[in-house]
C-alpha cells in the first residue's frame, strides 16, 4: 500500500464537474473522470482507517464499471462517493485534507507573510481617519462602502483575486492566463492617439532571452496630452531598464500582449517588487462609484497590522479539530495571500466562520423554542381522526406515515412544534397537514392555513371542504376577493370559536382577523412569505404549533441557511400509480409534432396546458406571450377546440372562471403563465407544453411539469426552446433525465444560485460575504456539526464568551435583522 495522500479537494472538484456536465464521464487533460476516480481511490493513503480503506477500494471498483452504468446508477454512485468523502473529512484529524506546502510533513498549515510586518500599534477599533496613508478625504470615500474602522476594513473581503504571482518567460505566454514577466526595455514611445486627442498611448517593447513583447497603456484625459508630460512618462522607462509587468495575456493585431498591464521599473533582476499588484495574487474588492481599487488596497495594507490584535473566538483544540488556521492569519491571507494554498486555507476558515455563527444562532433559537411552553395541548388520537382515516379513498404511503409520526411526537410535547415538510409535487403533503389540523380541532383549538396565492388557497379550500363536509365540520376561505358581508361573517365566527378552520392568503394577517383560540398554523410555500408576515399570523395565537410546507424541494445547503431553526421532514415517496412524465426538449422545427400529440390526447378526452413566460409581448424580449398566442392558438391552430386563458393580471373572478372551465373540461386547452405553477389540480390533463423553457429555472419547470401526470393516463412535458446556448441545453437535459425534485433543485442551485432558485430574493436568505452555497456545501455541514457539538457542551455559551460576543455581533447582520420563524 502506498503512503500517498489522497487529494480530497481534487476529488470533490472532479465529482462536482461530472454532475454539472450531466454524468457523461468527461475527459480531462490526462484521464477520463472514471479513470481519475478509480486511480485515486484505488490507492488510498495509510492515514485512513482500515474501514475507510476498504470503502475506498470498493468505490474504486465501482468507478471501473462507471462507463457501462445507467444514468441513475451513475447519479447514485456519485452521491455515495460525496457522502463518503464528507465522512472521511469529518472523522479525519485534518478534515479538509488540505495539501499545502509542509502540511504532509509537519501537520501545520504554512502562513505567508503579509505585505506589512505585524509590528504596529494599530488597533481594530481605530477609525480609518487616523491611519497615516488614509486621512480624512479617503476616510470619507471609504465610508460610502460602510467602512468606518480598521475592523470594518479587515473584514471587507475581496470578491475575487487575480494571480500575477506566476512569473514566466515571454515565449511561454498563452492567451487567457494572468502572469508576470521580467524583461529589459528595448524601446518606449508616448504619444497622442491620432483618433482621439484626449487619449495618450504609452507603448513599451520589452525583451527577455526568449522573445519580445509590445505592451500598451492607455491614459485618458487632457492632462496627459501635453508633449512635456508625455516625455516625462517616457523617461520613466528608459532603454535598458529592467521592468516587471503583470496582466492578462491576450491576442491583438501585434500578437500576444498583456491587457492593461501593471508595470514597475526594478534596479535589476534580483530586486524585490514593491508594487501591491505586480508579481502577487491581487485582491479584487467590491467597489462603488468614486472609489478606486487602489484606494482600498492601500487602506487594507495600512490596516493589516491590526489583524494580530484580533481575538480568535475558537480555542486552539477546536481549530485543530476542524483544520482551521488562526483568525489573524486568515484575515491577512484573504487579502494578500502569498500562494493559492494559503489563500484557500484562509478562505475556508472565514467561510467556516460565516456558516458556524449562522448555525449557532439557528440552533440556539431552536433550543430556546423547545424550552418555551405552548398553550395548545393536543391529543394525537380521537374519534375525528378515526373518521378521517375511514373516509380517505387511498392508503397513505410509508413516507407520509413516517412524517405523520414526526408530527404526532411534536404535538405531544409541551413546547410548540416548528416543523417543515418538504415533498415533491403530488407527494401528499396536504393530507399530513389535514391530520394535524384535525388533531388541533378535536382538542378544542382553531387552525389556520395560509397560502401565497388565491389560486393555491382556492385549491386547498376545495380539497378541504370535500373532506370537512363528510366530517360535518365548517371551513371558510378568506382572500382579497372575499365580499364584505362574507368577510364580516367569517370574522364573527372566528371570534366566537364557531369556525374551526380558516384557509386564506395574506388576508389572514389583517388586524380585523382575530381567533378565539388559535392553536395550529399551516403555512404553504412558506419561502414566498416575508418573515414579518409569518410572525404576524403566529401572534394571533398563544405560541401555536406551526407546520410549514413546500412543494419546491430545497437543496440541503439552502434549507440549512433558510430553515436551520426548523425540524425538517421529507416525503420522498410518491403515491402508488403515479407514472413518470415523458419529458422532451423540442425546437421550433418540431412544433407541428407537439401540436399533433395534443390533438391525439384531446381526441381521447384528455386536456392540455400551454405555458408562456410573459402575459403580453415585450419589445425587449423575444419570447412568446400568453395573450397574443392565445388568440393565435384559438383561431388558427386549434379552432376545433375550446382554448382558455389564465394569467396573473386577471381578476380573481376571471381566474376562478378560467380554472373552473378547465377543471370541468369545458376548455380543452389552457393557455397560461406561471400562475398555474402551484394550486391547479386537474387529473385529466396529460400534456404540459412550456414555451421558451430556457427562461425558467429547473425547479420551476419541475413544478409546472407536476401539473400533469396526476391521473392514471400517460403524460407528457414538452420543453420548447429556440436557444442555441450550450448552458441552456445542459440545464434542460436535467429535466429530461430526472424526475427527482431534490436532485433537480440541487442542479438548479449549481446552475443559477440560491437567490434565483427561490424565485425572489427573500429576507430569510442569509447574506454571506465569502461563502457560496454551491461550492461550500461540505464546509456548511461541518460547521453545523461543530455548532451542535459546542451547544451540547455548553448550551448557554458561558464557557465560550468570545463565541457568544461574535454571535451577537454577526447574527443580526448576517440575517439582515430578520430571524426566521
> DSSP string spanning 208-269?
ETTEEEEEEEEEESGGG-SHHHHHHHHHTS-TT-EEEEEEEEEEETTEEEEEEEEEEEESST
pLDDT computed for residue 717 by the predictor: 95
Q: Are residues 548 and 430 in the same domain?
A: yes
Report the alpha-carbon angle 260-261-263, nearest 5.
145
686 three-state secondary structure: strand
| Interstrand relation of 518-524 and 446-450 (parallel, antiparallel or unpaired) | parallel
- Whether 114 shows a pLDDT value over 60: the answer reads no
The model's confidence at residue 111, banded by pLDDT at 50, 70 and 90, is very low
**Pick from 515, 497, 402: which is nearest to 450 by CA?**
515
Answer whether residue 604 shows pLDDT above 90: yes
Among the candidates 514, 536, 571, a domain finishes at 571
Would the pLDDT of 353 be above 90?
yes
Q: Are residues 428 and 494 in the same domain?
A: yes
| Buried b or exposed e, range 434-458, using 16+ CB within 10 angstroms | bbbbbbbbbbebbbbbbbbbbbbbb
Out of 717, 738, 759, pick the residue that ends a domain.
738
The predicted pLDDT at position 2 comes to 42
What percent of the chain is helix, strand and coil (3-state, nearest 5)? 45, 15, 40
Q: Say yes or no to pLDDT of 181 above 60.
A: yes
Residue 667 maps to which CATH number? 3.40.50.300
Based on the domain organization, do 77 and 208 belong to the same domain? no
Terminal C-alpha separation, the chain = 52
- In this prediction, residue 70 has a pLDDT band, given cuts at 50, 70 and 90, of confident
Residue 542 lies in a domain: yes
Query: Which of 3-7, 68-72, 94-98, 351-355 is predicted most confidently?
Result: 351-355
- Mean of the per-residue pLDDT values of the chain: 82
Task: Clarify whether residues 556 and 597 are in a common domain.
Answer: no
Structure confidence at residue 801 (pLDDT): 92
Percent share of the chain, pLDDT over 70: 84
Residue 819 lies in a domain: no
Same domain, 420 and 467: yes
Same domain? 401 vs 522: yes
- Do 31 and 176 lie in one domain? The reply is no
My answer on whether 557 and 586 are in the same domain is no
Rounded mean pLDDT, 62-83: 82
Highest mean pLDDT pick, 113-122, 418-427, 720-729, 786-795: 786-795
Number of domains composing the chain: 4
Q: Which of 45-54, 110-119, 160-169 shows the lowest per-residue confidence on average (mean pLDDT)?
A: 110-119
| Rounded Cα gap, residues 333 and 651, in angstroms | 57
Per-residue confidence (pLDDT) for residue 746, from 0 to 100 = 75
- The answer, as to whether pTM is greater than 0.85, is no
Q: Are strands 211-220 and 199-208 parallel, antiparallel or unpaired?
A: antiparallel
What average pLDDT does this structure show over 741-757?
70
Q: Is residue 335 part of a domain?
A: no
| For residue 730, pLDDT beyond 60 | yes
Confidence of residue 91 (pLDDT cuts 50, 70, 90): low
Residues in contact with 65: Cβ distance below 8 Å, sequence separation at least 6, in sequence order: none
User: Domain for residue 550, yes or no?
Assistant: yes
DSSP 635: I
Sequence-distant (≥ 6) Cβ neighbours of residue 750 within 8 angstroms: 16, 19, 20, 774
pLDDT single digits (tens) 220-272: 888 888 888 899 888 888 888 888 888 889 988 878 999 888 887 775 555 55
Mean pLDDT of 406-428: 84
Extract the runs of DSSP E, i.e. beta strands, from 551-642.
Answer: 567-571, 582-586, 607-611
Helix (H, G, I), strand (E, B) or coil at 516: coil
Residue 73 in any domain: the answer is yes
Looking at residue 211, which CATH number applies to its domain? 2.40.50.140
Confidence of residue 690 (pLDDT cuts 50, 70, 90): very high
Q: With 90 as the cut, is the pLDDT of residue 160 above it?
A: no
Measured CA to CA, the distance from residue 517 to residue 545 in angstroms comes to 12
Note the pLDDT of residue 639: 93
pLDDT at residue 107 is higher than 70: no
Confirm if 167 and 181 have CB atoms less than 8 A apart.
yes
Q: Is there a single domain that holds both residue 475 and residue 613?
A: no
Please report whether residue 296 resides in a domain.
Answer: no
Among 426-430, 646-650, 754-758, the minimum mean pLDDT is found in 754-758
Q: Greatest CA separation found in the chain?
A: 98
**CB burial readout 154-178, b (16+ within 10 A) else e:** bbbbbeebbbbbeebebeebeeeeb
Q: Between residues 712 and 451, which one has the greater pLDDT?
A: 451
Q: Which residue has the higher pLDDT, 610 or 23?
A: 610
Q: Which residues contact 68 (CB under 8 A, 6 or more apart)?
A: none
692, 719, 738 - which closes a domain? 738
Residues 488 and 521 in one domain: yes
How crowded is residue 487: how many other Cβ atoms within 10 Å of its Cβ?
17
Q: How many helices (H) and strands (E) does the chain have?
A: 28, 20
Range of the domain at 628: 582-738
What SS3 state is found at 747?
A: helix
The pLDDT value given to residue 113: 39
Query: Does a structural domain hold residue 67?
Result: yes
The string of pLDDT tens digits covering residues 273-331 is 555 666 667 787 877 766 777 788 888 988 898 999 999 999 999 998 999 999 999 99
pLDDT given at position 45: 65
Facing residues of 688 across strands? Answer: 609, 717
User: Does residue 70 share a domain with residue 213?
Assistant: no
Q: Does 750 score more than 80 pLDDT? A: no
- Dist. CA 402–CA 105, nearest whole Å: 50
Q: Is residue 807 part of a domain?
A: no
Residue 119 has pLDDT above 60, yes or no: no
* pLDDT value of residue 434: 94
Shared domain check, 187 and 61: no
Banded model confidence at residue 374, pLDDT cuts 50, 70, 90: low
Q: Is the pLDDT of residue 647 over 90?
A: no
Amino acid at each position: 500500500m502506498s503512503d500517498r495522500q489522497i487529494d480530497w479537494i481534487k476529488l470533490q472538484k472532479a465529482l462536482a464537474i461530472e454532475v454539472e456536465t450531466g454524468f457523461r464521464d468527461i475527459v480531462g487533460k490526462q484521464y477520463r473522470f472514471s479513470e481519475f476516480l478509480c486511480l485515486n481511490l484505488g490507492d488510498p493513503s495509510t492515514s485512513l482507517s482500515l474501514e475507510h480503506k476498504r470503502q475506498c477500494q470498493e468505490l474504486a471498483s465501482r468507478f471501473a464499471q462507471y462507463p457501462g452504468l445507467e444514468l441513475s446508477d451513475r447519479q447514485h454512485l456519485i452521491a455515495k462517493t460525496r457522502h463518503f468523502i464528507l465522512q472521511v473529512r469529518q472523522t479525519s484529524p485534518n478534515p479538509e485534507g488540505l495539501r499545502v506546502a509542509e502540511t504532509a510533513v509537519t501537520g501545520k498549515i504554512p502562513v505567508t507573510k503579509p505585505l506589512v510586518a505585524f509590528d504596529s500599534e494599530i488597533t481594530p477599533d481605530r477609525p480609518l481617519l487616523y491611519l497615516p496613508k488614509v486621512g480624512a478625504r479617503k476616510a470619507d470615500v471609504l465610508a460610502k462602502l460602510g467602512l468606518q474602522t480598521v475592523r470594518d476594513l479587515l473584514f471587507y473581503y475581496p470578491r475575487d483575486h487575480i494571480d500575477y504571482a506566476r512569473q514566466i518567460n515571454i515565449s511561454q505566454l498563452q492567451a487567457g492566463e494572468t502572469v508576470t514577466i521580467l524583461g529589459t526595455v528595448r524601446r518606449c514611445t508616448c504619444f497622442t492617439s491620432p483618433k482621439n486627442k484626449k487619449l495618450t498611448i504609452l507603448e513599451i517593447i520589452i525583451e527577455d532571452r526568449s522573445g519580445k513583447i509590445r505592451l500598451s497603456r492607455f491614459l485618458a484625459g487632457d492632462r496627459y496630452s501635453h508633449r512635456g508630460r508625455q516625455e516625462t512618462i517616457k523617461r520613466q522607462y528608459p532603454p535598458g531598464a529592467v521592468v516587471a509587468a503583470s496582466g492578462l495575456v491576450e491576442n491583438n493585431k501585434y500578437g500576444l500582449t498583456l491587457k492593461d498591464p501593471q508595470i514597475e521599473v526594478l534596479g535589476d533582476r534580483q530586486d524585490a517588487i514593491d508594487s501591491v499588484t505586480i508579481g502577487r495574487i491581487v485582491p479584487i474588492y467590491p467597489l462603488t462609484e468614486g472609489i478606486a481599487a487602489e484606494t482600498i488596497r492601500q487602506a487594507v495594507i495600512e490596516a493589516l497590522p491590526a489583524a494580530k490584535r484580533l481575538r480568535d473566538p475558537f480555542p486552539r483544540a477546536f481549530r485543530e479539530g476542524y483544520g482551521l488556521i488562526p483568525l489573524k492569519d486568515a484575515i491577512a491571507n484573504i487579502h494578500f495571500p502569498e500562494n493559492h494554498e494559503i489563500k484557500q486555507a484562509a478562505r475556508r476558515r472565514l467561510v467556516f466562520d460565516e456558516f458556524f455563527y449562522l448555525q449557532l444562532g439557528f440552533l440556539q433559537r431552536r433550543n430556546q423554542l423547545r424550552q418555551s411552553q405552548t398553550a395548545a395541548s393536543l391529543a394525537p388520537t380521537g374519534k375525528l381522526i378515526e373518521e378521517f382515516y375511514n373516509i380517505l379513498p387511498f392508503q397513505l404511503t410509508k413516507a407520509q406515515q413516517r412524517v405523520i409520526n414526526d408530527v404526532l411526537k411534536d404535538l405531544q410535547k409541551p413546547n410548540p412544534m416548528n416543523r417543515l415538510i418538504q415533498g415533491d409535487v403530488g407527494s401528499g403533503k396536504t393530507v399530513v397537514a389535514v391530520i394535524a389540523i384535525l388533531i388541533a380541532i378535536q382538542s378544542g383549538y382553531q387552525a389556520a392555513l395560509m397560502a401565497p396565492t388565491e389560486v393555491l388557497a382556492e385549491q386547498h379550500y376545495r380539497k378541504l371542504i370535500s373532506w370537512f363536509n363528510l366530517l360535518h365540520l365548517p371551513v371558510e376561505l378568506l382572500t382579497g376577493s372575499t365580499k364584505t358581508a362574507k368577510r364580516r361573517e367569517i370574522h364573527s365566527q372566528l371570534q366566537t370559536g364557531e369556525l374551526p378552520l380558516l384557509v386564506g392568503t395574506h388576508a389572514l394577517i389583517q388586524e380585523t382577523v382575530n381567533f378565539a383560540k388559535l392553536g395550529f398554523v399551516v403555512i404553504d410555500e412558506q419561502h414566498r412569505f416575508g418573515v414579518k408576515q409569518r410572525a404576524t399570523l403566529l401572534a394571533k395565537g398563544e405560541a401555536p404549533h406551526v407546520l410549514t410546507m413546500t412543494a419546491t424541494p430545497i437543496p440541503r445547503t439552502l434549507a440549512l441557511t433558510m430553515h436551520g431553526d426548523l425540524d425538517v421532514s421529507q416525503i420522498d415517496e410518491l403515491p402508488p400509480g403515479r407514472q413518470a412524465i415523458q419529458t422532451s426538449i423540442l425546437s421550433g422545427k418540431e412544433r407541428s409534432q407537439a401540436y399533433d400529440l395534443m390533438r391525439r390526447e384531446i381526441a381521447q378526452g384528455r386536456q392540455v396546458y400551454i405555458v408562456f413566460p410573459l402575459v403580453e409581448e415585450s419589445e425587449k424580449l423575444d419570447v412568446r406571450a400568453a395573450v397574443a398566442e392565445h388568440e393565435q392558438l384559438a383561431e388558427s391552430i386549434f379552432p376545433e377546440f375550446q382554448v382558455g386563458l389564465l394569467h396573473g393580471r386577471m381578476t380573481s373572478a376571471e381566474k376562478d372562471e378560467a380554472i373552473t372551465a378547465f377543471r370541468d373540461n369545458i376548455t380543452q386547452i389552457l393557455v397560461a403563465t406561471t400562475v398555474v405553477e402551484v394550486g391547479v389540480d386537474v387529473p385529466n390533463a396529460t400534456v404540459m407544453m412550456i414555451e421558451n423553457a430556457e427562461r425558467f429555472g429547473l425547479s420551476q419547470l419541475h413544478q409546472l411539469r407536476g401539473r400533469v401526470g396526476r391521473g392514471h393516463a400517460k403524460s407528457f412535458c414538452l420543453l420548447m426552446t429556440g436557444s442555441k446556448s450550450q448552458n441552456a441545453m445542459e440545464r434542460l437535459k436535467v429535466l429530461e433525465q430526472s424526475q427527482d425534485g431534490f436532485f433537480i433543485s440541487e442542479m438548479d442551485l449549481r446552475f443559477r444560485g440560491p437567490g434565483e432558485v427561490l424565485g425572489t430574493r427573500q429576507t430569510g436568505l442569509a447574506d454571506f460575504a465569502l461563502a457560496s452555497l454551491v461550492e461550500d456545501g461540505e464546509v456548511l455541514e461541518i460547521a453545523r456539526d461543530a455548532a451542535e457539538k459546542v451547544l451540547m457542551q455548553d448550551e448557554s455559551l458561558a464557557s465560550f464568551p468570545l463565541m457568544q460576543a461574535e454571535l451577537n455581533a454577526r447574527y443580526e447582520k448576517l440575517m439582515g435583522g430578520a430571524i426566521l420563524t
